[in-house]
Structure 1
Amino acid sequence: METFESILDAIAGVIWGPFVLIPLLLGTGIYMTFRLGFVQLRGLGPGLSLGLIRRSDEGSSGDVSQYKALATALAATVGTGNIAGVATAVALGGPGAIFWMWVSGLFGMSLKYSESFLAVRFRTIDKKGGRNGGPQYYLQKGIKGPIGALLGWFFTIAAIVASFGIGNMVQANSMSETAEMNFGVEPWVTGLVVAVVTFFVLIGGVKSISTVAAGIVPVMIVLYIAVQVWILVANFGGLGEAFVTIFSGAFTGTAAAGGFTGALVIAAIQFGLARGLFSNESGMGSAAIAAGAAQTTHPTRQGLVSMTQTFIDTLILVTLTGLVITVTRAYEQVDANGEALTGVNLTSTAFNIGLGTEQSNLGGILVAICLVLFASTTLWGWSYYGERAIERALGTRSILPFRLVWVVMSFIGATIPLSVVWTFSDIANGLMVIPNLIGILILSGLIARETKAYLTFDPKLTATQAEIDEGLAHEPGYQAWRAEEQRLDDEVGTITGTHPSIKQGAKRRG
């Protein structure tokens, strides 16, 4: 087992080292940021307004509203990465890792926009009439020939494997460990509850998942933010020093202090970017799968709405968690065995120090409640990602067996030790990123051209479908997408029996 773990560690070290994903992620993010004219800055306000305030595009095609698609992506993204992932990055890379998580989030917004744009631009439907999108489709449809097919299938297989790691077993295990540590609940009990609840949530597919997510996600995010803001206000005098520690550690490393073992600059970069991706999933292509089901009048509109998910996840939630850990200097604490804290234990300690509840463990209990909520919604959201990937590989008949296996694996993940699953998840995540970023680079011209055309016409995202049709009447990219959407609508009508010709025939027969 030790040999196997060392092999996995070596593979993860190569994938997330200075020669593979770090330059690919940063390079592609920076390139798309400039290619799209800093879309993450100029499009953030309109994207937040459409996704969180107006919440839908009236008269558009798709399965769920833009808000529900965003909620599903947030449900899958806001998970253990925001609690345990941030803490692990700080424990291994020092407070400077937080800066590199910010970098991951800032440039990752352009990647999240690009992949979500492509998911809508090249989406299709399944045999039941549901809208499907994501890298498994747009890599093959957007890039003609064997290269597109190879990238698409590579992503599909990697997504299936990764879904059971980052999306299932890691989340279930984190819940069971937290429940046992804070409430004395046996892992098998947690596993059984998680499996039963997951079964009932998954029965209704994406509409059920998105509805549950739309109700839970705002509550859990507001709760988590409120507690952390309280801590930071109570420790306001130390915020300046915390920011200095983060910025200095990002470029000079962090010296050892207390129980903290210190960290080199390369460790801050490596773990900051790796855990940043684990948290916001920008560049992975996973959230694009949820975006592909959204009701939207233009790919750009859904791209901007989806992009806000990275802003909320990394530039708000990760920042707050990182600041709480840094301002309380919890990363310098040790456990009963004299070892440095990491993961959930580190975040719980930071909350207890910040709230002054070391004796009652109120901070740890609050972290436990947030983690259970975060991990539950992540498990449900990622089930949809894995389901779409397995459907692409094996067809719609594979969906029900996949859901049943998913439920069983959530129970197993909650009841067995997972010492290697985090490393395994890093590897699987990386294998999803590589084909997706290659595809984004190849299709960058199309993304930039059609984005510019739309935002020049409607920068505030207020145009109606009719106004868009008229305003972009001479844009070939939009016309091609609009014609395909109308064709898909006709197919959906035929499958579901709602096509006008079918209704008219039924009336005549009546």
Structure 2
Amino acid sequence: MIEVITNVNSFVNGLVWGWPALVLLGFVGVLMTCMTKFFQISHFGHWMKHTIGAIFGDKHVTKHTQDHSISQFQSLCTALAATVGTGNIVGVAGAIAVGGPGAVFWMWLIAFFGMMTNYSENVLGILYRRKNTKGEWAGGAMYYLRDGLGSKKGCKTIGVVLAALFSCFCLLASFGIGNMSQVNSMVTNVYTAFHIPQIVTGIILFVAVAAVVLGGLKRIASITEKIVPFMVIIYLLGTLVIIIMHAGTIPAVFASIFQGAFALKSAAGGVVGAGIAMAMQMGFKRGVFSNEAGLGSSVMVHSSSNVKEPVRQGMWGIFEVFADTIVVCTLTALTILSSGAIDLTTGAMTEAAEAVGSSSLMSYAFEQTFGRPGAWFIAIAILLFAYSTVLGWSHYGSTACQYLFGEKSVTVYRIIFVIIVLAGSVMEAQLAWDISDTFNGMMMIPNLIGVLVLSPVVMKCTKNYVDRRIRGKKVKPMLSMFEDIQAEQERSLSEDD
């Protein structure tokens, strides 16, 4: 039976993470980039000013709300908590080990277009969100699939079915990719670095996760807005030290990235065409695994923001992908490639790096520079990254559970989620992680269908925002697809202005 399940999962995984799905993902990113007139470039200064720049000068961005919504900064931190995880360390290392340095270029490319995929998801999330009986915003792919795609002629049933499927896949993925695999990674790394028994670390994590998750989104957001900036800044400082110490190798590192992307072999060798294909596939796959653009996951927390302008939250989506992949993943890659773990001529791992394995390349790079404390640093980094990922994914699962079974089911879900943390610390069945990875990828298909069908709505909303906020035209704002919420948000927006 286990063999049958493994074979079926491998087949499905090959479809949802194979070339057809990755091509669809890339196509949606390119389409949304063109339809918004390359918003991520043409309005680069604007979205930077109103995201990272606004943190230091706009009280509306960071101010804690009295209602059940969260601030824009908290929504970003909670989304980054789920995306900035082991994929930024172990995932990048795996992409380089299998696809060679050239995988990094394709990771950049999918992130560039993924910015606008994530932007589109967030715009649609705000446009189609609703409030539940507690006054909390509820939004996500399931809502714009049901109320957006489902509103098209002859598509009501399709919209309802795809929304339910997305929610089911999200719920199942939250227990695996968003919980057990992260916990298993944490306890394993802590044991390797500090020799603390896995069950002891598991119990500590059980308490730490329960204390936050059972408190709901407001508590999750209040914790992630403190953890995420700290852990990202400390991690980036560590990588920058190593890169600066190996500054002389940087020209050769970039040369190996571009040569590997277009001309040379993959790390495993082989003909030129196969090498490029492997670099592309690993770069695309690990890039998406890292920033989750196209999966429809982070939109569930972005939709809980106190923002009124859909495009404003869309810009946070652009910054999320930029920070996750263009910044964090790039510095991880440069650290590995400049440390001597990879032969820049052949793109293959050195014998010393082979001995520690692809999943430990960052530990190897840090240990080469800082000694044993370097390995401890990476173990702690993975602990914080994975812990924050668990917190972020608990909200995704809660949102899916609420959509499928109602608001009363959320408390039960959170209790089960916390219990599974303890189970994840002692489980070692790789099949459970592989199945979860498949469900994670299966979220992507219905979400991308929704974004494709509703792409004209995103284009119209973007044009509306640009006309009003950038060109100064006096036109009616486009804030929601529901008349009652549109009227409420208009009044609130006029008060803020």
Structure 2-normalised TM-score? Answer: 0.89
Contact in 2 for aligned 1:163/1:386 (Cα 8 Å): yes
Contact in 1 for aligned 2:98/2:267 (Cα 8 Å): no
Give 1:2 shift.
5.5
Which residue is 1:238 aligned to?
Answer: 249
Alpha-carbon separation, structure 2, partners of 1:414 and 1:263? 38
Which residue is 1:158 aligned to?
Answer: 169
Which residue is 1:503 aligned to?
Answer: none
Partner SS, residue 306 of structure 2: coil
Which residue is 2:70 aligned to?
Answer: 64
**Could you tell which deviates more after superposition, 285-294 or 414-423?**
414-423
User: Which of 448, 451, 458 is residue 462 of structure 2 equivalent to?
Assistant: 451
Contact in 1 for aligned 2:202/2:422 (Cα 8 Å): yes
User: Which of 362, 365, 371 is residue 347 of structure 1 equivalent to?
Assistant: 362
Contact in 1 for aligned 2:29/2:117 (Cα 8 Å): yes
Give 1:398 shift.
0.8
Which residue is 1:196 aligned to?
Answer: 207
What aligned pairs does 1:15-414 form with structure 2 within 5 A after superposition?
Answer: 15-18=16-19, 20-55=20-55, 57=60, 63-143=69-149, 144=151, 145-254=156-265, 264-331=275-342, 332-334=349-351, 341-343=357-359, 345-353=360-368, 355=369, 357=370, 360-414=371-425
Alignment length, in residue pairs?
Answer: 470
Which residue is 2:9 aligned to?
Answer: 8
Read off the aligned partner of 1:347 and give its amino acid letter: M
Which residue is 1:437 aligned to?
Answer: 448
Which residue is 1:507 aligned to?
Answer: none
Alpha-carbon separation, structure 2, partners of 1:489 and 1:129? 18
Give 1:414 shift.
1.7
Contact in 2 for aligned 1:173/1:418 (Cα 8 Å): no
Alpha-carbon separation, structure 2, partners of 1:437 and 1:454? 23
Unaligned regions of 5+ residues in structure 2, if any? 343-348, 492-497
Contact in 2 for aligned 1:96/1:250 (Cα 8 Å): yes
Judged with a 3 Å threshold, the aligned counterparts in structure 2 of structure 1 residues 486 and 130 are, in CA distance, closer, same or farther, namely farther
Alpha-carbon separation, structure 2, partners of 1:54 and 1:107? 24
**Could you tell which deviates more after superposition, 283-292 or 37-46?**
37-46
Contact in 2 for aligned 1:333/1:340 (Cα 8 Å): no
Give 1:42 shift.
3.2
Which residue is 1:508 aligned to?
Answer: none
Which residue is 2:494 aligned to?
Answer: none
Read off the aligned partner of 2:120 and give its amino acid letter: S
Partner SS, residue 271 of structure 1: helix
Read off the aligned partner of 1:11 and give its amino acid letter: V
Alpha-carbon separation, structure 2, partners of 1:275 and 1:325? 16
Alpha-carbon separation, structure 2, partners of 1:21 and 1:480? 29
Alpha-carbon separation, structure 2, partners of 1:488 and 1:15? 38
Matched, 1:471 2:483: no
Contact in 1 for aligned 2:106/2:284 (Cα 8 Å): yes
Alpha-carbon separation, structure 1, partners of 2:445 and 2:136? 27
Please, what is the CA RMSD of the aligned residues? 2.6
Contact in 1 for aligned 2:479/2:486 (Cα 8 Å): no
Alpha-carbon separation, structure 2, partners of 1:479 and 1:289? 16
Unaligned regions of 5+ residues in structure 1, if any? 464-469, 491-510
**Could you tell which deviates more after superposition, 423-432 or 444-453?**
423-432
Read off the aligned partner of 2:125 and give its amino acid letter: A
Alpha-carbon separation, structure 1, partners of 2:356 and 2:194? 23
Give 1:44 shift.
3.9
Judged with a 3 Å threshold, the aligned counterparts in structure 2 of structure 1 residues 480 and 391 are, in CA distance, closer, same or farther, namely closer
Contact in 2 for aligned 1:100/1:272 (Cα 8 Å): yes
Contact in 1 for aligned 2:266/2:278 (Cα 8 Å): no
Judged with a 3 Å threshold, the aligned counterparts in structure 2 of structure 1 residues 208 and 489 are, in CA distance, closer, same or farther, namely farther
Give 1:16 shift.
2.1
Alpha-carbon separation, structure 2, partners of 1:11 and 1:340? 31
Read off the aligned partner of 2:282 and give its amino acid letter: F
Alpha-carbon separation, structure 2, partners of 1:204 and 1:132? 17
Judged with a 3 Å threshold, the aligned counterparts in structure 2 of structure 1 residues 263 and 316 are, in CA distance, closer, same or farther, namely farther
Partner SS, residue 285 of structure 1: coil
Structure 1-normalised TM-score? Answer: 0.86
Partner SS, residue 129 of structure 1: coil
Give deviations 1:378-422, integer Å, cap 9, x for gaps: 100110000000010001111111111111111111211142344
Alpha-carbon separation, structure 1, partners of 2:480 and 2:210? 41
Partner SS, residue 202 of structure 2: helix
Alpha-carbon separation, structure 1, partners of 2:11 and 2:425? 26
Give 1:140 shift.
0.7
Partner SS, residue 311 of structure 1: helix
Which residue is 2:485 aligned to?
Answer: 484
Partner SS, residue 278 of structure 1: helix
Judged with a 3 Å threshold, the aligned counterparts in structure 2 of structure 1 residues 239 and 2 are, in CA distance, closer, same or farther, namely farther
Alpha-carbon separation, structure 2, partners of 1:444 and 1:339? 48
Alpha-carbon separation, structure 2, partners of 1:16 and 1:457? 40
Alpha-carbon separation, structure 2, partners of 1:218 and 1:6? 41
Alpha-carbon separation, structure 2, partners of 1:239 and 1:181? 31
Give 1:362 shift.
2.1
Alpha-carbon separation, structure 2, partners of 1:378 and 1:318? 16
**Could you tell which deviates more after superposition, 177-186 or 84-93?**
84-93
Give deviations 1:286-334, integer Å, cap 9, x for gaps: 1100111111121011111222110000000000001111122314134
Alpha-carbon separation, structure 1, partners of 2:402 and 2:91? 30
Alpha-carbon separation, structure 2, partners of 1:256 and 1:458? 48
Give 1:485 shift.
4.7
Alpha-carbon separation, structure 1, partners of 2:268 and 2:214? 51
Partner SS, residue 365 of structure 2: helix
Alpha-carbon separation, structure 2, partners of 1:192 and 1:487? 46
Give 1:361 shift.
1.9
Contact in 1 for aligned 2:87/2:286 (Cα 8 Å): yes
Alpha-carbon separation, structure 2, partners of 1:452 and 1:385? 30
